[in-house]
Structure 1
Amino acid sequence: MSPSRSPGLDLVKWLAMLSMVIDHLRFIWPAAEWLFVIGRLAFPLFCLGIAANVARSVQGQLFTRANGRYLGWMLAFSVLSEWPYHALDVGTGTFSIMPTLTLGLLLAWGVHHHRWSLLSVLLVSLLVSDVLMYGWPGVVLPSAFLLALRGGAGTWLVPGFIAVAANLTNRWLQLNPAEPITLMALCAALLSAPLGLWVLHRQYRLPVWRVGRWGYWFYPLHLVVIRLLAR
């Protein structure tokens, strides 16, 4: 493992992927509604992963080869993930999660590097919020985690409540606010922030298997596999 590698960050990514897969198993077992609650951890943890990567970069050095590759991968899989996503979730009115995360990365870069271009990213996010999974709050969430990484105790509240707001872009949750599963889902979204930050900052004696670029492929491929199993 590279000395600059963060085992906590890799573990955050593993937990994000695991909770995402658990959530999507609902397409195979529709009666298992409780899987939706566990799935509320996935998106905030992916956003925390983005924030942690942005935080490790040197402020003022935005236009680097590494950042170019990072954005290139995000854009490529924003395109590659659309067909698997719509094949699995037929009738959805949003893009896959990748465009939201890509805009979230751009906004977090703007915050980290003090670029006024962040205002244009935020404006675009507001204009297309209806077709983004988790809407504009989802785009803001990586930046909220970025600010929490700079802050002290209690700063997890900001990304926690933004994660709740992002989940409330879900129409079913909006229409059923008093349902037990809604309340549990929103609690899971709120608690995803302290959980993720705790996992990220812990010290680990045992090595954590690195999540490399294969992680980009995991998202569309797992959607294809679940679609095939759901037939």
Structure 2
Amino acid sequence: MRSAGLDLVKWTAMLTMVADHLRFLWPAADGLFIVGRLAFPLFCLAIAVNVAREQRIPSRYLGWMIAFAVLSEGPYRWLDADTQTFSVIPTLALGLLVAWGVQHALVWARLAGLVAMLAGALFGRHLMYGLPGVLLPAAWLMARRFGGLSWLLPCLLAVAGNLTNSWLRGHLSAPITLLTMAAALLAIPFGCLMLRIEHWRVPAVRRWGYLFYPVHLLVIKVLM
């Protein structure tokens, strides 16, 4: 069954991601970078919700992520030739495996999650949002399951993921850094509120959402 709240989370994640990438057209628009900090935690929330309600092996879900990680890398590097990381999709794919290992007690699921976590630790500097980003979907799962103080975990990881950016980490007191951390932190309660919305008519985000990522990168590059 479709969830209007989950589709709203996905739409918000995609639109804030596009807003962030529009900085390639308008480099002086620093505010778009701050808006874009909502996107990654919301994508992680979507993964957590899907993992929580899915009992089958996530082979198709993971397969789509791997396929579009490969397809997206060229457009991503064409748009940002100076990048030091892969696109965001490898981080999300590893996060899916860690979340699956947390959700299910099957030996192979726990082993896959552990391997993904180790990969995040070993290759974190090459992953967008690093190890904190890999752990964030699982943190969402745990917070939604246990509540209480466990909500501190996704909040901390959302902030820590942004601090893998060396410039932000080196300018902790700069206004843009403080606003970036605030936006990442607020993405957690904001995502929770959107999930509760079930009476709105929200267009469904289906598998075309995977294609949206590389296509929007190509469109922005062509417009530059």
TM range (shorter): over 0.9
Q: Deviations over 1:32-56 (max 9, x none)?
A: 1111000000000000000000010
Indicate the percent of aligned positions where both proteins have the same amino acid: 58
After superposing on structure 2, the runs of 4+ consecutive aligned residues of structure 1 that deviate more than 4 Å are none
* Aligned 8 A contact 1:137 1:163 in 2: yes
Partner of 1:205: 199
Instruction: Give 1:208 shift.
Output: 1.0
List gaps (5 residues or longer) in structure 2: none
Determine the C-alpha separation between the residues in 2 that align with 1:206 and 1:168.
35
Where do residues 29-44 of structure 1 align in structure 2 (5 Å cutoff)? 29-44=26-41
Read off the aligned partner of 1:216 and give its amino acid letter.
Y
Partner of 2:216: 222
Read off the aligned partner of 1:193 and give its amino acid letter.
I
2:99 paired with 1:108: yes
Instruction: Give 1:119 shift.
Output: 1.7
Determine the C-alpha separation between the residues in 2 that align with 1:15 and 1:220.
17
Aligned residues: 220
List gaps (5 residues or longer) in structure 1: none
TM-score of the superposed pair, with normalisation by structure 2: 0.95
Partner of 1:178: 173
Determine the C-alpha separation between the residues in 1 that align with 2:39 and 2:212.
14
Instruction: Give 1:153 shift.
Output: 4.5
Q: Deviations over 1:193-224 (max 9, x none)?
A: 11101111x23323210000000000000000
Read off the aligned partner of 1:133 and give its amino acid letter.
M
Aligned in 2, Cα 1:199/1:226: closer, same or farther, shift over 3 Å?
same
2:147 paired with 1:168: no
- Which has the higher mean CA deviation after the structures are superposed, 113-122 or 67-76? 113-122
Aligned in 2, Cα 1:100/1:227: closer, same or farther, shift over 3 Å?
same
Where do residues 1-231 of structure 1 align in structure 2 (5 Å cutoff)? 4-58=1-55, 61-62=56-57, 67-114=58-105, 115-117=109-111, 118-153=113-148, 155-200=150-195, 202-230=196-224
Determine the C-alpha separation between the residues in 2 that align with 1:103 and 1:191.
24
